[in-house]
Amino acid sequence: MTSNAVLQRSDVERIVREIVRRQFSIADLGQQTTASRAAAHSELVVSVSARHVHLTDEHVETLFGPGSTLTPGKDLYQDGFYAAEETVMVVGPRRRMLPNVRVLGPTRSFSQVELAFTDGISLGIDLPVRASGKIEGTPGCVLVGPAGVVELAEGVIRAERHVHMNHRDAERLGVKSGDRIDLEVESSSGVLFKDLLVRADATSKLEVHIDTDEGNAADLDHATGVRLVKQEGCKCQAG
């Protein structure tokens, strides 16, 4: 739902002034956190997804102006996906704000905000852990852009950790789409991440997505090895 009536006009003006004060700029990529950082070992890539937003075409025009489209800024690891130059401010309860949250493209049929656990604390939102797209019954927020305001009735989640792969990788690993697999990170703070959701299709590259809290906990930047571990006793190919 798109609305300019969510906030009083004075609230909208105050938020926009705050954006300007913090030097909000849709053209500034240099000082923004990119959508992900990755640790690649052999063919497996582990990407840490920073907070980001997916938008519909309608919401892009509301936030950035009539006729606006997303401007690709940096290609992501998966073909066809990119970090856009556009950013928005995410406003939670009691007007708590996260400025300069990156928009990822291409656009989608629904808008969704993906945050880490600590981001939820900052905004005052109790984030549910959900697979991307499973937004029914999730919290909402307000998005503020240079041209307008959008109220999301739902769609704010902490993305469930998951692994993209193609069908050949899935066969080699003995799993299929919808199964669960573990990720072992070897580092000074070695971690075994349990129950990654397997998302297999015909074309995806082998890539794990975890959030910033998880990446920091595992000291992923200094990892010496990463590997996927099939769960003991897994009946992944059953049925």
Question: Could you report the per-residue pLDDT of 111-121, keeping only the tens digit for each?
Answer: 999 999 999 99
Q: What's residue 167's pLDDT?
A: 96
Q: What's residue 95's pLDDT?
A: 83
Burial class (CB in 10 A: 0-12, 13-18, 19+), 186: middle
Q: What's residue 2's pLDDT?
A: 47
What is the length of the chain? 239
Tell me, what DSSP letter sits at residue 95? Answer: G
User: Quick one: tokens of 206?
Assistant: 């082998």
Q: What is the DSSP string of 12-68?
A: HHHHHHHHHHTT--TT--TTSPPSEEEEEETTEEEEEE-SEEE--HHHHHHHH-TT-
pTM value is 0.81
Where the chain has pLDDT below 70, the residues are 1-42, 233-239
| H or E element that contains 129 | strand 129-130
Q: What's residue 233's pLDDT?
A: 63
Q: What's residue 38's pLDDT?
A: 56
Torsion of CA 123, 128, 129, 132, to 10 degrees: -90
Q: Are 66 and 88 in contact (CB under 8 A)?
A: no
Q: What's residue 46's pLDDT?
A: 96
pLDDT in tens, 14-42: 665 555 444 333 333 223 334 455 555 44
List CB contacts of 144: < 8 A, sequence separation 6 or more: 12, 15, 16, 19, 63, 88, 89, 91
- Other C-beta atoms closer than 10 Å to the C-beta of 239 total 5
Q: What's residue 135's pLDDT?
A: 96
Q: Are 111 and 152 in contact (CB under 8 A)?
A: yes
Q: Break the chain into its structural domains and give their ranges.
A: 45-159, 162-230
β-pairing, 112-114 vs 149-152, is unpaired
Q: What's residue 234's pLDDT?
A: 59
Read off the amino acid at residue 147.
Answer: A
